[in-house]
Amino acid sequence: MYTYVSMHGVIANYLFVQLMCKRVTNRVAFGKPLAEQGTIQADIGNSRVEIDQARLLCLNAAHRMDLYGNKVAKNDIAAIKVAAPRMAKTVVDRAMQVSDDNREIKCTYLIGIVLIVMLFMTMWSRIQCSKP
């Protein structure tokens, strides 16, 4: 269940990166498009790396759960519980910084998806931690 919810967060964040790429081609700062700024390129690159890291962690955990069971995959599931919310938060923060006044990204449904996914991740980790 947790890997399923985490993958939805990964998909939503892929869409955020696409919005970031679209926005930086249209916006000009310091006489040239933001897409040509080194820090923006680094932010988009770091976002892609973090998203791929979370995606591969989810796929690896799901593969181990299918082959060996949940007890063997518990370390992978624990890694997802740390990496997926951290990735979602940083990608959303970077996307908000790229947009001016946050109008474009606030108006999309993606922010709602990410918040719901993060809520489910938090609830799931608390349920797992509270089990005796």
Residue pair 85/118 in contact (Cβ under 8 Å)? The answer is yes
Q: What is the pLDDT of residue 9?
A: 74
Q: What is the pLDDT of residue 130?
A: 47
How far from 71 is each of 26, 56, 57, 58, 60, CA to CA, in Å? 49, 19, 16, 16, 14
pLDDT digits (tens, 9 = 90+) for 113-127: 667 666 766 665 555
Averaged pLDDT for residues 23-32: 84
Mean pLDDT of the chain: 78
Strands 28-29 and 32-33: antiparallel
pLDDT of 129 over the 70 cut = no
Sole residue written with tokens 């996914």 = 117
pLDDT band at 43 (very low <50, low <70, confident <90, very high): very high
Nearest residue to 44 via CA among 9, 15, 20: 20
Fold that domain 2-130 belongs to in CATH: Butyryl-CoA Dehydrogenase, subunit A; domain 3 (1.20.140)
Residue pair 21/69 in contact (Cβ under 8 Å)? The answer is no
Q: What is the pLDDT of residue 118?
A: 66
State the amino acid at position 88 in one-letter form. Answer: A
pLDDT digits (tens, 9 = 90+) for 61-88: 889 999 998 899 889 888 888 888 888 8
Averaged pLDDT for residues 54-59: 90
User: How many residues comprise the chain?
Assistant: 132
